[in-house]
Amino acid sequence: MSESPICFGLYVPPQPHPLLAPEQNEGWGELRSAFDTARQRIEESDADLILVYSTTWPSIIGHQIQAHPEPEWTHVDDDFHFLGSMPYKFKMDTDFADGYNQNCGERGLHSRTIAYDGFPIDTGSVVALKLLNPDNRIPACIVSSNVYSNRAESIVLGKAARDTLQQQGKKAVVVVVATLSNRMFTEHIEPHEDRIHSAKDEEWNQKIMEFFSQGRLEDLSQLSREIHGQIRVQKVVAYKPVWWMAATMGQSNNYDGEVLAYAALHGSGGAVIQLTPTSGSFGDKEFDEDDVEIYSGDRDVLDKGMI
Amino acid sequence: MNRLPLPHVDSMGEIVAGCIAPHPPHVVYADNPPQNEPHSEGGWETLRWGYTKLANKLKTLDYDALVIFTPHWQTYIGTHFLGLPHFKSKSVDPVFPNLFQFNYDLGVDVELSRALHNATKEAGMVTMMMENQDFRIDYGTIVSAHMLNRDWDKPIVPISSNRSRHYYSVEVMNEQARALGRACRKAILESDKRVVLVSTHSLSHRHFTTEPPIPEDMSKQHIYNHSNYVWDMKLIDLMREGKMQEVIDLMPEFTEQTMAETDSGSISWMMEALGMPDYPAEIYGYQSVIGTGNVVAAWDPNPETREVVL
């Protein structure tokens, strides 16, 4: 078995509260402390790259890969603008971005690199990189989430990332930016009033974290459609981040899982979770859906005389 | 055709027109204004010529501000309004950054914005003023404002899109947007402002997920599928016939069937603010942009100046 190109994976929330207002709520502060722990572990790792998949960066023309060497701006969140501004200057691994784009094409995906001054990097990516890599010690890469993509594209997108790491001989910390349950309160609340939106969301969040803590990433990947139906507000067609994360990290349950913190973020479920590859395994289950190596596009049944 | 400005009554607000103004950045890219950095060889003339004709009409109207309901300032905690008078920055489209890198310098009618906010709050809705000077104006607002007023000589009042469709349903979105429209109508009529309402969105909104090597290659532009085309035409026919109540009644089904950008609530808001027109819309043009269906249309409450354009 070849050495994994993944140092470890992180699942972190996109909301700006841990960055901008950790002192206003105990849970937000705990998430901030967990971000700080993760930052320290990244610094102590031998990672060459921080690879971010952000659910708050939607794209339409395939998947977009950030390739500006030093994107710089001051970002303000659409909803939480009152918490403050987020000035940033990041360092991107443009060689990785180019290679990733190439490998997406090799696997049948449409993708493109983007490198434009002033491009609006999304809240989730800004929060993650500012907290996990504040001094730009390690170069990063960010990939978008296509609004129309589903399981096949997301898994193939993850495999293309892994291809690139292996080809370039790089080790990465993989960062998925996403909430667990994503239903927020639709009205203003005071920081001390924050809680998970519903008992159902809380119950599912606990189940998901149980899987994560047991290292069962591939099992979560297989449960993704069920999670989407149960606790995800239907903004997009599917709950994709664990598909991408599982595919990038190697499609197994061979991880040590650790939930570093869990708290409500305006009603949604925010968690900082670490998955570290290990030789042990919870054991793989019998999976319902096929693995996908190459994305071959939509099946044009209407054009094939089937109706 | 009488193009004289409408009489101005002191301390009496008025809605002088309502416009559907789609915001694919392609139309600004194709126009090559000095504010936009990428350069094109043109494209989407049917939409752009329609926009020019509508913009020329607006030049003949006496109004104080463009009030723009935008799907690309997406808020989940109520409806937000801008609370600062001036914004200068650069807008780069997150989806089509190759087409839209627009340097803007714009004014906001904060007095009117705050009046709309207060009326919305008094009507029982969740709302907030946005007062962070680093906030970047969304490209939906900028594209529609630019195409309707290339001189940028009128202040704007952007309104965020509360995504109640995602959290509840299209029906809830429709009702909440209509309530917002009623509140805005009340605030405008009680003000001393004359305004043009702008509902910026496509009709059907399924995109192609690939882009031609030359984005403005018009040989590649067509609607995503026939179903979306038929739906778009159905709505435009109803607009021509002045049956806007029927359009709003159909809105949940239309939005579901065509993935329409009307899911933002913008047209439901505007029709309610206009008092649910029963007179014909002025249709200025329809064209596909990367698979989506886009109409430029206007409602002129004044029968003296209302036109049959197309």
Q: State the Cα angle at B25 between B88 and B134, rounded to 5°.
A: 25
Which ipTM score applies to this complex?
A: 0.93
A176 alpha carbon, distance to own chain's centre:
2
Judged by DSSP in three states, B229 sits in helix
Contact: B126, A188; criterion CB under 8 Å:
yes
CB A303 within 8 A of CB A235: no
Give the number of other Cβ atoms within 10 Å of residue B297's Cβ. Answer: 26
**Residue A301's pLDDT band (cuts 50, 70, 90):** low
What pLDDT score does B12 carry? 87
Q: What does the pLDDT look like over B38-67, one tens digit per residue?
A: 999 999 999 999 999 999 999 999 999 999
pLDDT-based confidence at B244, cuts 50/70/90?
very high
Residue B258, classified by CB atoms within 10 Å of its CB into exposed (0-12), middle (13-18) or buried (19+), is: buried
State the average pLDDT for chain B.
94
CATH class of B14-299: alpha beta
Q: With 60 as the cut, is the pLDDT of residue B193 above it?
A: yes
The string of pLDDT tens digits covering residues A164-222 is 999 999 999 999 999 999 999 999 999 999 999 999 999 999 999 999 999 999 999 99
The answer to whether the Cβ–Cβ distance between A76 and B96 falls below 8 Å is no
Note whether A59 contacts B: Cβ–Cβ < 8 A. yes
- Contact list in B for residue A79 (CB cut-off 8 A) is 75-77, 80
**Do B198 and B63 contact (CB within 8 A), yes or no?**
no
3-state SS record for chain A: CCCCCEEEEEEECCCCHHHHCHHHCHHHHHHHHHHHHHHHHHHHCCCCEEEEEEEEEEECCCEEEECCCCCEEEECCCCCHHHCCEEEECCECHHHHHHHHHHHHHCCCCEEEECCCCCCCCHHHHHHHHHHCCCCCCCEEEEEEECCCCHHHHHHHHHHHHHHHHHHCCCEEEEEECCCCCCCCCCCCCHHHCCCCCHHHHHHHHHHHHHHHCCCHHHHHHCHHHHHHHHCCCCCCCCCHHHHHHHHHCCCCCEEEEEEEEEEECCEEEEEEEEEECCCCCCCCCCCCCCCCCCCCCCCHHHHCCC
Q: What pairs with residue B184 in β-bridges? A: none
Question: Given the DSSP bridges, would you call strands B194-199 and B65-75 parallel, antiparallel or unpaired?
Answer: parallel
The pLDDT value recorded for residue B3 is 35
Residue boundaries of the structural domains of chain B: 14-299
Contact B210 A60 (CB under 8 A): no
Mean pLDDT confidence for B160-185: 92
Q: How far is CA A208 from CA A71, A275, A303, in A?
A: 34, 13, 40
Cβ-count burial of B15 within 10 angstroms (0-12 exposed, 13-18 middle, 19+ buried)? buried
Q: Enumerate the residues of chain A whose CB falls inside 8 A of the CB of residue B163.
A: 235
With CB atoms and an 8 Å threshold, state whether A62 touches B210. Answer: yes
Cα-to-chain-centroid distance, residue A261: 16
Domain spanning A6-304: CATH 3.40.190.150? no
φ/ψ of A83, rounded to 5, equals -80, -20
Kindly determine whether residue A61 and residue B167, on different chains, have CB atoms separated by under 8 Å: no
Q: Residue A110's closest chain B neighbor by CA?
A: B210
